[in-house]
């Protein structure tokens, strides 16, 4: 049986507005009908404007992990460098290795950001033709220096830059073409604030061209197959059409709210939670690289995070996240992304204060 809903302050899935849920509850159109191609065609320019790109933005009916697999399958010809400083960036290394592609991990301590010099050092070996980065490491609340790393990668013409922007897209501005990102992907259940099941994935022309030559050992995640249908405003297989209706509404809302306002709201929410965390606890990642969409709080008071979350859920209908994997109970994570408001974030922190007697 369904219990009362708890508002999600978790870094994915995130809270979804009822307008978005209602946008999904529409009669289905057939995916080979003109109504569908109209929907698909309407989404493209909005996605391109939102991501500052002129390249195709593919839509995978899959969670982000599927598109991460697609990126390496289609873009690694020689050898991939996986930049690792958390659980999701490590997953990308596991995916790359699991697909049987040659790869190495450059792993740094998880509380440290990936620095451009470290990337440059590795790429100078000439061994690599692709690099993966988790822009916003959701397991540690770390916003890696995307622009600086992109600048370094850009100096190696054969190296393609594959970016997991999963918990960033929709919360921070991403200038895909300006930064020269070859693949930039994000599942929609994080800062896009939609239910899980769809992933947005921009792909550069040269990545599409390379995908034609690597012969990816995948059909569902093949860029060339996707592209063939994309050109007719369709997808190769039956997509989650409901998601696409919801995405259309959400993009309209974002573009109406004004992207600048949306990102400013994320800045404001981040500052509020960071200030609170510094006052009562500490913040896990090194200063200067704190995420704008979630804060990973170091549990310096050694509270029981599980107890806190139980009280939040049972008495207040709110939910936060424990630390990820080994960071469980050592940290906890408060998401401030998507369609949450400054007022809701203040509300959550006030409730935590009263539960913990802060
Ligand atoms: C959530 C997340 C993923 C994985 O997403 P799924 O939707 O569970 O496949 C990958 N990378 C980052 C940074 C994430 O936050």
* DSSP codes joined into one string, 244-262: HHHHHHHHHHHHHH-HHHH
Pair (293, 338) in one structural domain: yes
Question: Which residue's alpha carbon is at the smallest distance from atom 10 of ligand 1?
Answer: 88
The set of protein residues with a Cβ atom below 6 angstroms from ligand 1 is 12, 63-65, 88, 134, 136, 138, 164, 166-167, 187, 190, 196
How many Å lie between the centroid of ligand 1 and the Cα of residue 88?
7
| Gap from CA of 34 to ligand 1 centroid (Å) | 33
Do 161 and 242 sit in the same domain of this protein? yes
Q: Which of 60, 67, 68, 138 should be mutated for ligand 1, with most atoms under 8 A from CB? A: 138
Give a yes or no: residue 20 inside a domain. Answer: no
Residue 44 falls within a domain, yes or no?
yes
Domain assignment of residue 36, yes or no: yes
19 falls within a domain: no
- CA–centroid distance, residue 14 to ligand 1 (Å): 12
What is the CATH classification number for the domain harbouring 298?
3.90.1150.10
- Same domain for 231 and 266, yes or no, is no
**What is the span of the domain harbouring residue 108?**
28-256
Q: Are residues 61 and 209 in the same domain?
A: yes
Whether 183 and 266 share a structural domain: no
What CATH number is associated with residue 157? Answer: 3.40.640.10
For the whole model, what pTM was predicted? 0.97
Q: 229-268 as b/e, with b when 16 or more CB fall inside 10 Å?
A: bbeebbbeeebbbbbbbbbbbbbebbeeeeeeebeebbee
Angle between helices 259-280 and 241-257 (to 10 degrees): 90
The residue to mutate among 172, 187, 189, having the most atoms of ligand 1 within 8 angstroms of its beta carbon, is 187
Domain count of the fold of the chain: 2
- Of 227, 256, 285, the residue at which a domain comes to its end is 256
The verdict on 274 and 350 lying in the same domain is yes
Q: Whose CA is nearest to atom 12 of ligand 1?
A: 166
Residue 210 and residue 184 in one domain: yes
Q: Domain boundary residue among 210, 226, 256?
A: 256
pLDDT string in tens for the chain (358-residue length) = 667 899 999 999 999 999 999 999 999 999 999 999 999 999 999 999 999 999 999 999 999 999 999 999 999 999 999 999 999 999 999 999 999 999 999 999 999 999 999 999 999 999 999 999 999 999 999 999 999 999 999 999 999 999 999 999 999 999 999 999 999 999 999 999 999 999 999 999 999 999 999 977 899 999 999 999 999 999 999 999 999 999 999 999 999 889 999 999 999 999 999 999 999 999 999 999 999 999 999 999 999 999 999 999 999 999 999 999 999 999 999 999 999 999 999 999 999 999 999 9
Residue of 95, 166, 189, 200 best suited for mutating to test ligand 1, as the one with most atoms within 8 Å of CB: 166
| 148 shares its domain with 238 | yes
Whether residue 289 is found in the same domain as residue 251: no
243/25 Cα distance (integer angstroms): 10
What is the CA(82)–ligand 1 centre distance, in A? 16
Are 92 and 148 within one domain?
A: yes
Asked if residue 153 and residue 62 are part of one domain, the reply reads yes
Q: In this structure, are 116 and 247 located in the same domain?
A: yes
C-alpha pair distances (Å), 158 with each of 2, 80, 123, 280, 345: 52, 12, 10, 47, 44
């Amino acid at each position: 049986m369904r219990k009362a809903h708890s508002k999600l302050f978790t870094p994915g899935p995130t809270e979804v507005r009822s307008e978005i849920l209602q946008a999904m509850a529409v009669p289905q159109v057939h995916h080979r009908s003109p109504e569908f191609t109209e929907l698909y065609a309407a989404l493209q320019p909005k996605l391109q404007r939102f991501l500052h790109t002129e390249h195709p933005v593919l839509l995978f009916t899959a969670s982000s992990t599927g598109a991460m697999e697609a990126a390496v399958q289609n873009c690694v010809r020689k050898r991939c460098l996986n930049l690792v400083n958390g659980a999701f960036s490590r997953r990308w290394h596991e995916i790359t290795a699991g697909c049987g592609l040659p790869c190495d991990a450059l792993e740094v301590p998880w509380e440290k950001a990936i620095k451009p010099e470290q990337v440059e050092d590795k790429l100078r070996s000439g061994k690599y033709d692709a690099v993966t980065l988790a822009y916003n490491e959701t397991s540690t609340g770390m916003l890696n220096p995307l622009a600086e790393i992109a600048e370094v990668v850009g100096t190696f013409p054969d190296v393609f830059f594959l970016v997991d922007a999963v918990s960033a897209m929709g919360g921070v501005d991403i200038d895909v073409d300006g930064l020269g990102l070859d693949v930039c992907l994000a599942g929609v259940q994080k800062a896009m604030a939609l239910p899980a099941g769809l992933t947005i994935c921009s792909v550069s022309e040269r990545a599409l061209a390379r995908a034609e030559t690597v012969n990816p050992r995948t059909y569902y995640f093949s860029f060339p197959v996707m592209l063939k249908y994309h050109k007719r405003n369709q997808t190769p297989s039956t997509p989650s059409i409901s998601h696409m209706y919801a995405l259309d509404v959400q993009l309209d809302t974002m573009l109406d709210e004004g992207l600048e306002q949306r990102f400013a709201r994320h800045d404001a929410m981040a500052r509020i939670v960071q200030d609170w965390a510094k006052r009562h606890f500490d913040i896990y990642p090194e200063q200067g690289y704190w995420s704008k969409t979630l804060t990973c709080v170091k549990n310096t008071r050694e509270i029981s995070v599980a107890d806190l979350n139980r009280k939040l859920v049972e008495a207040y209908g709110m939910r936060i996240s424990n630390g990820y994997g080994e960071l469980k109970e050592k940290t906890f994570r408060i998401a401030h992304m998507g369609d949450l408001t400054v007022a809701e974030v203040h509300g959550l922190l006030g409730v935590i204060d009263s539960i913990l007697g802060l």
